[in-house]
Amino acid sequence: MRHLRHVVGAAVALTTAGTVLATPAVAVPAAENYAALGDSYASGVGTRDYFEDSGDCLRSPKAYAQLWADSHDVASFAFEACSGAVTDDVNSGQLDKLSADTTLVTISIGGNDAGFSSVIKDCLLGDDARCDSAVSKGEDRARNELPDKLDTTYANIREAAPNAKVVVLGYPRLNELGDCGIPFFSDAKRQRINDGADVLAEVLSGRAEAAGFTFADTRDAFAGHGVCSSDAWINGPSSPLVESFHPDADGHAKAYLPVLNDITG
């Protein structure tokens, strides 16, 4: 997601010899030519460990994409995700490594297009009404502006990688309700942010399906581990600020990676 500089902080059916077997996994070739695209949720911002040569993109060895590449038979790996990216950035700067030889593409994108940073800032610094208004604006952008941007981006990915399986990884609900040590971060604010995540998931899922891509819903995987949890896999307000409200290393290893593995095998 964009840097929070102003923030405190199916089933596939297989019929064999008359028997129908169902599996949720997409069959993946033994050796992948894999490309990982997207924003900071894909690059691994929040894990507090970054490749020195990734610069402001903040790509992490603990990001789900790198973890997947490290644990599978990968012939090539293009880690193109970049902190702060919106759909236009994917289209203009992240597709060059894709080709007819690319067999797997993952992408997390759309949160910045919906105004993630502004929502978090207004919810942390404003009252409940200001937070509600900010989330509502983000939801409107997600419903009314984001679909066309996703359609264009997904079409460009398909054109650049005509033979690839494409997995769209969604965003988690960020917060748990109840006791919380973050001042003025009320249950009402946390619930509205989670509501916005549900709207975003609906849009991402619908456009992925329309493109013939697979949507990987991460909300259940993070359940019980959001901000204000006693076992949080998502950072609250952090230093540096860019780490705020992003999955930490556990979030990538224990939530994102298993969800992706369930799809790819």
Please report, for the chain, the start and end positions of each structural domain, with discontinuous segments joined by +.
Answer: 12-264
Position 175 scores a pLDDT of 98
Position 114 scores a pLDDT of 97
Let me know if 20 is exposed, middle or buried by CB neighbors in 10 A (0-12, 13-18, 19+).
exposed
Instruction: Please provide the CATH number assigned to the domain covering 12-264.
Output: 3.40.50.1110
pTM score of the predicted model: 0.88
Asked if residue 215 lies in contact with residue 170, where contact means CB atoms within 8 angstroms, the answer is yes
Q: Is the dihedral of CA 237, 238, 243, 247 positive or negative?
A: negative
Q: CA 95, CA 118: separation in Å to the nearest integer?
A: 27
* Average pLDDT taken over every residue of the chain: 91
Q: Predicted confidence band at 21 (pLDDT cuts at 50, 70, 90)?
A: very low
Q: Predicted confidence band at 30 (pLDDT cuts at 50, 70, 90)?
A: low
Q: What angle do CA 191, 193, 194 make, to 5 degrees?
A: 65
Q: Which amino acids are annotated catalytic?
A: 40, 246
Q: Predicted confidence band at 28 (pLDDT cuts at 50, 70, 90)?
A: very low
Q: What is the pLDDT of residues 180-218, one digit of tens each?
A: 999 999 999 999 999 999 999 999 999 999 999 999 999
What average pLDDT does this structure show over 124-134? 97
Position 25 scores a pLDDT of 54
